[in-house]
Structure 1
């Protein structure tokens, strides 16, 4: 009896001894569904981790929090690591697990278009995203890929704050707008606009959003980073193995003001074009395409060596 009691006590202690990981996400988005699945389905706890999730609006602020040790891990676009590492920091920022692998925006037209072609944007008023931001750079890349010069073939508006772009379009500005979900689908439901194309489907695979940390943290907390990445892999498997409705139910607590049916619609849309990465590995082709996109936009400080700023060892172990 005593031995059983000791065993139970030890088991209880073991369950309580979770390693805390402070994670800063650049925004709250259904685009990041696997992260919330990992939290709600207990995958982090299974790996002995307790995640303290904080939403830090803006890539600059998120990276500042990471550099100042306010957080341990940042979930943000890989381009931010390029900008920081270009300043030759003593403690480089390393991308170690990928969450999304395409652009997450959609092209929304004011009127419904049955047979859309990108040529229709020529001569139009296009309400884009912030200059130098990844959505805008990926958007310009897609336009050029389809034979459109974003600065000469249309009237490009990109001086509106990210938070106000949707409102500006709803108020009558622009013929087309580049929007994230769930706003794009919500506009369709309300008749404000109509989704006619996906920038994500056109962009190709990019390390659009990744988990990154200081090199020193990954060296000191290698076991924690591996456990963290394994939990993300479990969540990625869950997202693709279950129905969009079940995924929506799992992440619904993070989107209290969004209808469950709308969450499911967005999950299915992102899943159909494989915006959610199926594993945490950021491969070299994706890294190089990212730099091509940034370079075309005139924002790349210099090419960054994949082997120096990407570490796939944790993802490879998690997959095995």
Structure 2
């Protein structure tokens, strides 16, 4: 009897100990993404494949729908970590924020938009854009700045050579192009491929290929959060890096199947072709390190667009220490 009692007691203690360890080893991280985009495939892979869970992180994902809204969520503690363009951290720094926003892990390394024409143009040349109506992106955002950077690179002045439209909200741009008179538009995937399939447009060029490597979307957090939660930030980065490697090692179709729950209205075939397009042009970062050349390219693009508020040094808003440790582990 006494032996059975001791055995039962030992079992109860083991259960209590296990439960306590499990609850104590999990950190909840509020993650705000700037928009819902297939461009962020590695992030969704990390969630769906359980890579964050393996690191003891419970992700609470929210979609902010805009860079300004994303940064507001981060600065007001509505989010712990934000996935957004690195230019937003520069804007915050220029406004004199006492708590710097630190870029600590890069997710995408090229522009994610494609030039879509209303009519087929298999022999497209950038000069074809002159004297046309171009539906662009929001002023001050990376899609618009990278787009203008590429246009100028090809000798096109967006202000004088185009009828440039920039007063349409991001979410309404596809519909405005389909129903309006614009002859060209910048679109992300899978919208660009969906338009092709439906005959609403035709992909003629990639801004990602033309603009070079840039920290287009990175994970960032306030310096105070990073200081007080270094272990959590490192665990988060480990999960991201594992997802980056998984994406590189698996086919576009396998990736599409994993991330499909985030794009329920998009056919698997379109998701796969879109992922393949991003993979083939090297849009997904291979590791979480944001290097100095990419940072300087970002500033050049912002400066060219007249949107660089001040020359913020690389070391001021970029911390690669954790990413380097993760890669070295």
1:14 to 2, 9, 21: 21
> Could you say if the C-alpha distance between residues 299 and 186 of structure 1 is closer, same or farther in structure 2, counting changes exceeding 3 Å?
same
CA distance in 2, matches of 1:260, 1:8: 43
CA distance in 2, matches of 1:8, 1:173: 66
Is the counterpart of residue 235 in structure 1 residue 247 in structure 2?
Answer: no
> Could you say if the C-alpha distance between residues 99 and 8 of structure 1 is closer, same or farther in structure 2, counting changes exceeding 3 Å?
same
Give the equivalent residue in structure 1 for 2:256: 248
CA distance in 1, matches of 2:118, 2:166: 18
Give the equivalent residue in structure 1 for 2:265: 257
Specify the structure having the higher radius of gyration (Cα): 2
Give the equivalent residue in structure 1 for 2:154: 146
Unaligned 5+ segments in structure 2 are: 1-6
2:284 to 266, 276, 284: 276
Give the equivalent residue in structure 2 for 1:296: 304
Give the equivalent residue in structure 2 for 1:307: 315
Q: Deviations over 1:28-59 (max 9, x none)?
A: 11111111110110100111111111111111
Is the counterpart of residue 35 in structure 1 residue 43 in structure 2?
Answer: yes
2:223 to 215, 229, 241: 215
Give the equivalent residue in structure 1 for 2:87: 79
CA distance in 1, matches of 2:264, 2:20: 33
CA distance in 2, matches of 1:189, 1:245: 18
Q: Do the aligned residues in 2 keep the contact of 1:108 with 1:176 (CA within 8 Å)?
A: yes
Unaligned 5+ segments in structure 1 are: none
* Deviation at residue 126 of structure 1 after TM alignment: 1.2
Q: Do the aligned residues in 2 keep the contact of 1:127 with 1:176 (CA within 8 Å)?
A: yes
CA distance in 2, matches of 1:26, 1:195: 24
Q: Aligned-pair RMSD on alpha carbons?
A: 1.5
Count residues in correspondence: 320
* Deviation at residue 10 of structure 1 after TM alignment: 3.7
Q: Secondary structure of 1:90's match?
A: coil
| TM-score normalised over the length of structure 1 | 0.96
CA distance in 2, matches of 1:249, 1:15: 30
Q: Secondary structure of 1:228's match?
A: helix
